[in-house]
Structure 1
């Protein structure tokens, strides 16, 4: 099968961790079991991609794979057409052998806000929960992470990752189309765990924080990025229906509430390092994502409010340290 080697590589990286069973999620057998109607079409597309080698990469100042001069006109067109077939591109931007993919989110802007504050990634094992198509996975690898694992259940994001990884197969960067609930029960193996843009989609945010903690080694770092609202400790907004046209938003805590939730779960050294109001410079429709975006969810008469009359999107990055196993409050002690 096409991805047997990818499954084997992930299994090798996980050897001795207790997480070896999740390598199965990198197999095509699992992918077909998801029942996504375009699986055959897109896997065949990967087979038909040109077998080209990038002359260089850049994962530090951007995500660039190869250059235009690395490919012929015919090869360039094949890569361009494959990428266009997978619109919408939500996270990016990407440069793929000269194909410039201008995604909805300028994910590099979030990365630039985040990077100065987190523990250095050199030599660390990192998991990104809700990693989408893998943009931040490559940025973390560019900072020296020894292995990076993305976890996101959406097949469309996974297929975008597969397109990019087709040209980067030797890198220890993996994404699997699952939820964290499909992992073996919490095994504290990762040095850094990120959850960005996930917490407000969880019906039980406290359970999500405990779950993230359970996969962190003692002293490991949690990077939590979430929508927040202004308010005192204890306040969290629960939208009565949609929020900025999204229908799966459950809790928008204040920054003090976010920090108190983390402390209640046993995290240590909790601190919020960035609060940022989302603007159309960072999230907007493009030729690669020509659908509704941020401004469509805002009140046209008052951009400080959503179309539902709620506070406009504001995001906070909060960091925390995982406690020793004996001091953890959720799940089984190990």
Structure 2
């Protein structure tokens, strides 16, 4: 499915995006970036995932609904095809972000990503007719929801090839919508592109070694007056307080810092953002993040202190996440 020729077909709608001249600088580099990103040396399991994609039957969707909690795709396929589809989709385990319902198969993902979407969707600017960048988008669940809210073009970036394969499987059945997930990171976006009306960075910030560099990278992606939607871990505390885990945090190795809300507000202002505000603060619970039949590894309940769930297994404050919105100057 994703040899060089078919890959050009998958992304052809993006390469031909003449309606978005502000993206021209990046789109010119994109074919070579994709060749590098999909190189065989990137991940030893890629041939397995590609084989699963190749085995998916071509069934035209008679209904696609992007405005329901479990993104819905259906074409009235029979039991034989349904069993084949489920078998191939399960070869793309673990499914972290969702949920999805594809031809009668409910993919119950680790994260109930719809809950996060409901917390923020009424606080952000309308996405109608907007060009959107979703940084660290996983398999693209939120990118589909953005499209369902009227976005004209949604580009997600995530360097994890399994997430890209999962997105490819969903799009295979959904059809030719202007939504794409690229196997790239924020560092692959040309600096100061200033092209997007809205930029989302959700669940990424605390994985970046330099908070200020990431905030400036995001600002460089936004057109003047564009909106940043930033969702991240936070701690309780005053301005200036930041948790820097010495080892793991909730079993994650790559958590570099967790600021208080007031600290992050000041960082956003220091980086030049305007109209900065917090629109939601929510404790992460096992309703939102848990092991399922589609993600059979450990999850949130395994990362919390079994005696005191207000703490992680490392004795640090349990995960609380906040949504910030800000405007690019």
Normalised to the residue count of structure 2, the TM-score between the two structures is 0.94
CA drift of 1:29 comes to 6.4
Distance in 2 between the 1:28 and 1:97 partners? 32
| 1:16 maps to 2:29 | no
CA drift of 1:74 comes to 1.4
Structure 2 counterpart of 1:31, from 35, 38, 44: 38
Tell me what 2:9 maps to.
Answer: 5
Tell me what 2:94 maps to.
Answer: 88
Give the 5 Å matches for 1:207-286: 207-286=213-292
Give the 5 Å matches for 1:85-164: 85-164=91-170
Q: Label 1:25 to 1:260 Cα distance change in 2 as closer, same or farther (>3 A).
A: farther
Q: Is the 8 A contact 1:25 1:31 kept in 2?
A: no
Distance in 1 between the 2:66 and 2:296 partners? 26
Q: Is the 8 A contact 1:225 1:316 kept in 2?
A: yes
Where in structure 2 are there 5+ consecutive unaligned residues? none
Normalised to the residue count of structure 1, the TM-score between the two structures is 0.93
CA drift of 1:25 comes to 6.4
Distance in 2 between the 1:302 and 1:3 partners? 49
Structure 2 counterpart of 1:60, from 56, 61, 67: 67
Per-residue CA deviations over 1:248-294 (Å, capped at 9, x if unaligned) read: 10110000001000000000000000000000110011111111111
Distance in 1 between the 2:236 and 2:36 partners? 46
Give the secondary structure class of the aligned counterpart of 1:304: coil
Distance in 2 between the 1:76 and 1:249 partners? 39
CA drift of 1:33 comes to 4.8
Q: Is the 8 A contact 2:138 2:160 kept in 1?
A: yes
Tell me what 1:291 maps to.
Answer: 297
Distance in 2 between the 1:192 and 1:44 partners? 35
Q: Is the 8 A contact 1:270 1:321 kept in 2?
A: yes
CA drift of 1:36 comes to 1.8
Structure 1 counterpart of 2:49, from 21, 42, 47: 42
Worse-superposed segment, 87-96 or 45-54:
45-54
Give the 5 Å matches for 1:318-333: 318-323=324-329
Give the secondary structure class of the aligned counterpart of 1:19: helix
Give the secondary structure class of the aligned counterpart of 1:303: coil
Q: Is the 8 A contact 1:80 1:99 kept in 2?
A: yes
Q: Label 1:73 to 1:157 Cα distance change in 2 as closer, same or farther (>3 A).
A: same
Where in structure 1 are there 5+ consecutive unaligned residues? 324-334
Per-residue CA deviations over 1:228-249 (Å, capped at 9, x if unaligned) read: 0000011111011111111110
Give the secondary structure class of the aligned counterpart of 2:106: strand
Per-residue CA deviations over 1:193-230 (Å, capped at 9, x if unaligned) read: 00001111111011000000001001100000000000
Distance in 1 between the 2:206 and 2:71 partners? 31
- Number of aligned pairs? 322
Per-residue CA deviations over 1:274-326 (Å, capped at 9, x if unaligned) read: 00000011001111111111111111110001111110000000000000xxx
